[in-house]
């Protein structure tokens, strides 16, 4: 069966939902971050699918957007992991259930 | 996208990517989850090649597999007493339920929409991408460099040790 636009979109949707489940359910802050990265990758697949398949005057725009998504993902990963290391240094844990300092 | 080769590549990549993404969810050891994450990134890079975005496939391997995966590994190794457990919070059930519900909605939308697609792949080269980035999208391109600088400085400031901060305060 030749893969068409729907097949790529379904793969993107599946990957996004796995990433969402990981990001929402993991106890370790680094695990949550891995879920976010999976979701960003799924979005990139979807963007490139539309860039490749849809009728458009400027199909390159999808790839351009994907470049920016990768850039922002790199910045986000660096800051989020620095935050996780910083929290670990102060509280000896990266468990998101125990990061409740702002809770009254 | 015709012929046997791309179809085979698609199904192999789909199984590889989704199974290893499921591995990130299922395995109990956090380090193994990171290794599954790397396999997922490689599968996504394969999808980029299949979607004729060669430059992005290379960027995916360099940035995600090369930089972000190593960064995640370092973060795991720098938090030794937090444990290597990849367990779930008590909200795991609702989280999975929400994901499945969202998946159902998206699958319905994908199946129900009539997509108007091109037959032939558009000719997109790296030169086109570079021209688009430096003409039409030059402002976001420059803002992205500011964002990366801010993230670099922010990450360094966040992980400075208290001793270094005390030294800086004295100086």
DSSP 8-state code for residue A4: -
Burial of B97 (0-12, 13-18, 19+ CB in 10 A): exposed
Among the listed residues A62, A69, A85, the one whose alpha carbon sits nearest the alpha carbon of residue A37: A69
Token reading at B125: 């080269």
Nearest-Cα distance to chain A for B166, in Å, is 16
How many residues in chain A?
A: 104
Q: Which residue segment(s) compose the domain that B48 sits in? A: 1-87
How confident is the model over A32-41, as a mean pLDDT? 95
Residue B99: inside a domain: no
Q: CA-to-CA distance for B106 and B112, rounded, in angstroms? A: 10
Q: CA-to-CA distance for B49 and B56, rounded, in angstroms? A: 8
- Is it the case that residue A93 has pLDDT exceeding 90? no
CB A40 within 8 A of CB A80: no
**pLDDT given at position A1:** 65
Of B95, B128, B147, the CB nearest to A25: B95
Nearest-Cα distance to chain A for B169, in Å, is 19
Of A82-86, B5-9, B85-89, B166-170, where does mean pLDDT reach its minimum?
B166-170
Interface test with B, best of A25, A43, A57, A69 (most B CBs within 10 A): A25
Residue A97's pLDDT band, with cuts at 50, 70 and 90, is confident
Nearest-Cα distance to chain A for B73, in Å, is 9
Of A3, A48, A74, the CB nearest to B53: A48
- Output the domain CATH number for residue B52: 1.20.120.1200
Of B100, B118, B155, the CB nearest to A55: B118
Q: Do A85 and B78 touch (CB under 8 A)?
A: yes
Domain boundary among B25, B58, B87: B87
**pLDDT given at position A56:** 84
Residue B111: inside a domain: no
Residue B114: inside a domain: no
Interface test with B, best of A56, A69, A81, A85 (most B CBs within 10 A): A81
- Is it the case that residue A71 has pLDDT exceeding 90? yes
Residue B130's pLDDT band, with cuts at 50, 70 and 90, is very high
Nearest-Cα distance to chain B for A18, in Å, is 7
**pLDDT given at position A40:** 96
How many domains is chain B partitioned into structurally?
2
Go through the domains of chain A in sequence order and give each one's CATH number.
Answer: 5-91 (1.10.287.3510)
Domain boundary among B87, B116, B133: B87
Residue B118: inside a domain: no
Residue B1's pLDDT band, with cuts at 50, 70 and 90, is low
């Amino acid at each position: 069966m030749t893969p068409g636009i729907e097949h790529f979109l379904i793969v993107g949707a599946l990957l996004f939902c796995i990433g969402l489940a990981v990001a929402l359910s993991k106890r370790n802050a680094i695990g949550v971050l891995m879920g976010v990265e999976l979701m960003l990758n799924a979005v990139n697949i979807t963007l490139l699918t539309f860039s490749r398949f849809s009728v458009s005057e400027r199909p390159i725009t999808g790839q351009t957007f994907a470049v920016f998504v990768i850039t922002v993902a790199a910045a986000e990963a660096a800051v989020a992991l620095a935050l996780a290391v910083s929290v670990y240094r102060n509280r000896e844990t990266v468990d998101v259930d125990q990061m409740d300092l702002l809770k009254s | 996208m015709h012929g046997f080769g791309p179809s085979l590549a698609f199904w192999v990549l789909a199984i590889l990517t989704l199974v290893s993404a499921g591995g990130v969810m299922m395995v109990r050891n956090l380090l193994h989850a990171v290794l599954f994450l790397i396999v997922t990134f490689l599968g996504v890079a394969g999808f980029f090649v299949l979607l004729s975005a060669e430059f992005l496939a290379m960027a995916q391997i360099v940035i995600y597999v090369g930089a972000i995966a190593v960064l995640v590994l370092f973060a795991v190794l720098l938090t030794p007493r937090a444990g290597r457990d990849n367990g779930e919070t008590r909200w795991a059930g609702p989280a999975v339920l929400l994901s499945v519900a969202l998946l159902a909605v998206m699958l319905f939308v994908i199946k129900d929409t009539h997509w108007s697609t091109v037959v032939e792949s558009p000719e997109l080269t790296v030169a086109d991408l570079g021209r688009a980035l430096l003409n039409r999208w030059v402002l976001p391109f420059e803002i992205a460099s500011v964002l990366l600088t801010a993230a670099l400085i922010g990450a360094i400031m966040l992980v400075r040790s208290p001793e270094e901060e005390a030294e800086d305060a004295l100086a």
